[in-house]
Amino acid sequence: MVYKTAGAEPLMMQPQIVFSGKGRLSAWRRSVALLWVALVALLTATPVRAAETSPEAKAVAAATAHAVPGFWDPRRRPERPDLSRLTMIRFLTEVDYPPFNFTGADGNPAGFNVDLARALCEEIKVTCTVQMRKFETLLDALASNRGDAIIASLAVTPQTRAKVDFTDPYYRTPARFVARKDAVMAEMRPEYLEGRKVGVIAGSAHEAYLKAMFTDAELHSYPNAEVLRAALKRGEVDFIFGDAISLAFWINGTDSENCCAFSGAPFLESRYFGEGVGIAVRKGNDTLRQALNWALFRLWEKGQYTDLWLRYFSVSPF
């Protein structure tokens, strides 16, 4: 599950890192990020032999392996805001949610969200700190002015919007079908799945979507992701449907035993799969929100967001 919602727990202080947006990325921080990527690739990457993959599966894989999400409209270029009032940004992030947030080998915060925060500060040219706290305490910490912005895969929902303001989404979690490699399809339409067995986690938004949209499929509900994926490996179901980011890591990991691949394109209906993930700021802090929106667009426009995404997601969920 990649989108997260927040409750309340006693605050727990965690490691903090300070970096300046006025200079280039430091060599040791580059090394930590690259070490993480190399380690993930070494431990989880499993090569696919051509003989094990159908021509259609190859075509789908080639088209989607390095797809990078883009949520910014080039026709809606934001104007550069007045950044003179920003002297420091105190980012809050989560303790342990790899690859988005985790403690690096040096004991400092690391991960996709942390590297994105650093890149934003370099674009804005402001000094920043990143402090790790328990996820359940982040909203309270922001409200009590112990930080200025939350960058921790916090879902944009009506409940969170009531407490904070959000930047534009910087990623979303699509839903996708996965099939065994010899049964991958280029397109997944309701009529194509008539009578086909599709596995899904019971009570999930993905199950609700299938019940509403894929009414002729034969649904099989499972209690959790582990059991669901095992059912596909055994051939108990023809497809499974779920969170594409967690499925991407499974497909590229050792647990899948190189069995499976994405089938068809991603589904992004916000009614079922959420509005996305944004950076949260205190209500009414338009100065910071606008600065971050401008910097997000600039990172995407210059290709830095793409570079960062590909560093952490070797198999794209999109």
Percent of the chain with pLDDT over 70: 78
Query: If you average pLDDT over residues 85-99, what whole number do you get?
Result: 94
**Across residues 168-192, what is the average pLDDT?**
95
pLDDT at 67: 62
- pLDDT value of position 144: 97
Measure Cα distances from 215 to 186, 211, 264 in Å.
20, 6, 18
How far, in Å, CA of 263 to CA of 57, rounded? 8
Q: How many CA atoms lie within 13 A of 181 on its CB side?
A: 18
Whether residue 105 contacts residue 32, with contact meaning beta carbons closer than 8 Å, is answered with yes
pTM score: 0.73
Span of 64-73, 202-211, 217-226, 281-290 with lowest mean pLDDT: 64-73
Residue with the bigger pLDDT between 150 and 7: it is 150
If DSSP codes are grouped into helix, strand and coil, which group holds residue 18?
Answer: strand
Residue 194 near residue 216 (C-beta atoms within 8 A): yes
Q: Give the domains, in start order, of the chain with CATH numbers.
A: 16-49+68-172+276-312 (3.40.190.10), 175-273 (3.40.190.10)
Averaged pLDDT for residues 108-131: 96
Digit-coded pLDDT (tens) for 269-300: 999 998 899 999 999 999 999 999 999 999 99
Mean pLDDT of the chain: 82
Q: Check residue 19 and give its pLDDT.
A: 45
| Mean pLDDT (whole number) for 168-191 | 95
| pLDDT in the model for residue 66 | 54
Give the residue-averaged pLDDT of 132-159.
96
Predicted confidence (pLDDT) at residue 228 exceeds the cutoff of 60 = yes
Is a pLDDT exceeding 90 seen at residue 124?
yes
3-state helix, strand, coil in the chain (%, to 5): 40, 20, 40
Q: Select the more confidently predicted residue: 55 or 107.
A: 107
What pLDDT sits at residue 48? 33
Percent of the chain predicted with pLDDT > 90: 67
Tens of pLDDT, residues 26-69: 333 333 333 343 443 333 333 333 333 444 444 444 444 456 76
For the packed helices 304-312 and 286-301, what is the interaxial angle rounded to 10 degrees?
80
Q: What is the mean pLDDT of residues 75-98?
A: 91
Query: Is pLDDT at 240 greater than 60 in this prediction?
Result: yes
Q: Decide: 67 and 318 in contact? Cβ < 8 Å.
A: yes
